[in-house]
Structure 1
Amino acid sequence: MSGRVVDRGAGRAEPPRSVNRAFRAGGGAMRQRMRLIVQWVVVLVGLNVLMWQLPALVGEADRVGASLAEVSWGWVGMAVLFGSGALVLYGELHRRLLVAGGARVPGRSVQAINFAENALSTTLPAVGNAAGFVYAAHHLRKRQVDVGLAVWSLVLAGAVATVALIALGLLAVGVAGQIPVLVAVPLATGVVLGAWGCWRVASRPQVLRRCASGLIGLGRHLPASCRVRAADPEALAQRVSDRIGLLRPSVIQWMLITGCAGLSWVLDFLSLFASVTAVGHLVPWSALVVGFLVVQASIALQIFPGGVGLAEGGLLGVLVAYGVPVAPAVAGVLVYRLINWLGLAAMGWVVYAVQIHLTSHHQHRRAPECPGCGPATTR
């Protein structure tokens, strides 16, 4: 052996660039097909959950057929309007947070994301909330909203809505006589002031930078199209914190944001009122307040998708405990949950499926004419 280094690749012919480009293009097409397959599988899983629960609700409906036979469709229509309006207002709350952060996303796009996110979070077992969160962040990123602002706005939207529910719930139980008003008002005020203090602390640059580091860690687990890649995570955390630090709503913007959150819960409560009134039985105000809060607590626990079972059982138990006969109580619960859970979730899955179709059609329409043109981008 002469000790000479032999270049084993010297005698190999490099494949033409066109072949490499064609291979990459084929790989991109395969990934797109797999993405579509996964998306449609998610749709089928969600719809199967709805269909799995539907026979149980229909069976209950057979037992209270007399009450449902006398249902007032005018009140049912009002319940549908109130329920869908509550979800639309939550989407508007999110849109106004995005506007406060400097992102201009069309209202129809935010509402489409909002309805689909609601369907994912309320019907997918175990991973519903996480799936809805990732879906919303992914589609906001596709509409040119940076990952930091997209995730931050989603977190804030949920936080504002939760604070509004707690404050309004305390005031409502006070007015309904469940606790003294002189106790309910200070408690509600303390919740709002405490939330405002947390916001003031969380919006400081040092705290934002720590939050940004967490967001970057979360961003590494998002879909490939919006995954965070950075050679210097610390520098990126600084840039992200500076970016989301711009989300500082003015006083007027805060009034609109909190107004959307509060009115959303009011409409949801009115949907419950209309659903119970539709079966022709008057229910005490205090029973509706307590029942509504029990439903929301059941949903928030996320033990089952959309609080199924717990929400219906809790609401029914409250109504019966307040003297409502079993048949109209069951009928009212069924009407409310058919509208505000199954109905809104079904609408969200339709939006989700349409989004898949529009995205794939848009990508196909703008696909490159040659393998070397690079992947098409969508907004």
Structure 2
Amino acid sequence: MSTTQDSGPTTGRSQDGSARRPVRSWLRRGLVVGFLALFAVELVLGWPALSSALSELRAPRPGWFVAALVAELAAMAAYARMQRRLLLSGGLRVPLRRELALTYAAHSLNETLPGGPAFSTRLNYQQMRRFGATPALASWCIALSGILSTAALAVITAVAALAAHGTPPWLTLIGTAVGAVAITFGLRRVVRRPDMLLGVARPALRRLNRLRRRDADDGLDHVRAFLRQLRGARLSAGHGTAAAVFALLNWLLDAACLWLCLHAVTDREISGFQLLLAFCAGMAAGTVTIVPGGLGVIDNALVLGLLAGGIGTSTAIAAVVLYRLINLGVVTGAGWILWFVIRRRQPSVEPESP
């Protein structure tokens, strides 16, 4: 009799589980089809700008083109090294090749998918957990890398504007600087005294459990474990300085790629600071578009910036198209290949929290 009673619930659970699998499978397929359809629509919207630009592209000089490609690859390596330094500051040593593969794959998700930053963040978190990072260290590293990257672009913009005798967008830069300092200071305070968050997390968790109809302190042990893990996420002066330098190099090498692409199609010179201003304007414009890779938006901002520096229209378009072929074509294409490699070698479910 006991055997019959035990087998009943098990059978029910197995039937429920088997019933859910087809639903989840169809849901995943529907999401994939939906994303592909939305991507196609966005690509169609951005295609006129891309096709008109391609018509202006003439054969680039091979030497300058190769140098531009090397500069872009170096920019990606700098970003990977920045994240690797942040992980190293938490006591986790990751092989550079694995961090590079993650950087390329996450970049491709960020640039080409609708809501790309969310998918990129999820991939970063999953892979850092597989590298051996605790949930707290992975979250801390992702947050701090975003802060460093944004702050580095703001610094480059301010320096370029001042050197080019322009007027930087002071309100935006001051707001960015204050926000970055406040968030960094807050993260440091939390890392040094993680228990201070417990007083905030406990009431929120109790409200959530009330909605879920669970015990008031359900999950509190996981919150305590997460806060304990934060103690290991210390950023030393050495690792912090190195990470900041790599964040600056990431943007500067990316801008160098644009400069080399310009020299690949013309002998005309442009002020380095004027080119940096054009580059920063393009990157800033890319944050306010849903078109994949900022097609049409980033390109127009870059072209206008080069025009302001004295470059002719057809030459500016040719240089920007060449830059985008490297930045959006080669790098993003390589990132998707690496994403498929990562997906094939490893399961999609991240490991459980310790």
User: Normalising TM by the smaller chain, what interval?
Assistant: 0.7 to 0.9
Q: Which secondary structure does the structure 2 equivalent of 1:116 belong to?
A: helix
Report how far residue 208 of structure 1 moved: 7.5
1:322 paired to 2:313: no
2:54 to 61, 68, 73: 61
Q: Which secondary structure does the structure 2 equivalent of 1:103 belong to?
A: coil
| Equivalent pair of 1:115/1:347 in contact (CA under 8 Å) | yes
Unmatched segments (≥5 aa) in structure 1: 1-8, 221-229, 364-375
Q: Provide the TM-score with structure 1 as the length reference.
A: 0.73
Partner residue in 2 for 1:367: none
Judging by fraction of residues, say which structure has more helix. 2
Provide the rounded CA distance (Å) in 2 between the counterparts of 1:49 and 1:105.
Answer: 38
Question: For residues 145-294 of structure 1, what are the structure 2 equivalents within 5 Å?
Answer: 145-179=133-167, 195-196=180-181, 198-205=183-190, 209-210=196-197, 213=201, 232-285=218-271, 286-294=273-281
Report how far residue 82 of structure 1 moved: 0.9
Provide the rounded CA distance (Å) in 2 between the counterparts of 1:207 and 1:21.
Answer: 40
Q: Which secondary structure does the structure 2 equivalent of 1:145 belong to?
A: coil
Partner residue in 2 for 1:331: 318
Alpha-carbon deviations, 1:242-292, whole Å to 9, x = none?
Answer: 322322221111121111111111111111100111101424224312210
Q: Which secondary structure does the structure 1 equivalent of 2:91 belong to?
A: coil
1:83 paired to 2:72: yes
- Larger Rg belongs to: 1
Q: Which one-letter code corresponds to 2:259 in the other structure?
A: F
CA root-mean-square deviation: 4.2
Q: Which secondary structure does the structure 2 equivalent of 1:324 belong to?
A: coil
Provide the rounded CA distance (Å) in 2 between the counterparts of 1:355 and 1:48.
Answer: 24
Q: Which secondary structure does the structure 2 equivalent of 1:278 belong to?
A: helix
Q: Which one-letter code corresponds to 2:54 in the other structure?
A: A
| Equivalent pair of 1:119/1:346 in contact (CA under 8 Å) | yes
Partner residue in 1 for 2:101: 112
Provide the rounded CA distance (Å) in 2 between the counterparts of 1:117 and 1:201.
Answer: 26
1:95 to 64, 84, 109: 84
Q: Which one-letter code corresponds to 2:242 in the other structure?
A: L
Q: Which secondary structure does the structure 2 equivalent of 1:129 belong to?
A: helix
Report how far residue 44 of structure 1 moved: 6.0
Provide the rounded CA distance (Å) in 2 between the counterparts of 1:55 and 1:357.
Answer: 35
Cα gap change, 1:82/1:199 in structure 2, threshold over 3 Å: closer, same or farther?
same
Query: Number of matched residues?
Result: 335
Cα gap change, 1:197/1:333 in structure 2, threshold over 3 Å: closer, same or farther?
same
Instruction: Compare 263-272 and 196-205 and name the one that shifted more.
Output: 196-205
Identity of aligned residues (%): 24
Provide the rounded CA distance (Å) in 1 between the counterparts of 2:269 and 2:305.
Answer: 11
Cα gap change, 1:210/1:308 in structure 2, threshold over 3 Å: closer, same or farther?
farther
| Equivalent pair of 2:194/2:230 in contact (CA under 8 Å) | no
Q: Provide the TM-score with structure 2 as the length reference.
A: 0.77
